[in-house]
Amino acid sequence: MTPIRHLLIGTAMTTLCAAAFAQTPAPATGSPGQQPAPAAAGIDTPRQTPDIAGLRDEPPAPGSSHRLTAPGPTDPLVQKRDADARANAEYRQDKKAARSHYKSRVKSAKKSRKVDRKAANEQMKEQMQGMPAQGGPQRP
């Protein structure tokens, strides 16, 4: 098991070193008019590209409507988690709206009931004023 581990570690280190050398430009040697020699056979050194207007790394102009967005996650579990979070937020919002609607209906029903009771009491008092009192013994 140990020899396999050593081989894997050595291969990984070799790959990383080759990648690091491939990314660094080779030092210029010789006269200024000569091109630099390649760093290693089979490895291309990066070339300088001309500064083209559409390819420059400049921030967008202020006030532009150009927004950069990261691509969505491709992991299905992350997508499900995000979808569940959106659904829960929507449910809570709908529940809050329904609760406030219910409370406003109950409040208006209480007000109308109070007004109806008051009107009924006033009407009963008006009817009772014109009638003689009932219930006690009648005096001659």
pLDDT (tens digit, 9 = 90+) per residue, 105-118?
Answer: 999 999 999 999 99
Instruction: Say whether pTM exceeds 0.75.
Output: no
Domain boundaries, the chain: 75-129
Residue 40, classed as helix, strand or coil, is strand
The 10s digit of each residue's pLDDT in 49-106 is 555 555 555 666 666 666 667 777 789 999 999 999 999 999 999 999 999 999 999 9
Whether 72 and 78 have beta carbons less than 8 Å apart is answered as no
Alpha-carbon span 75 to 65, nearest angstrom:
29
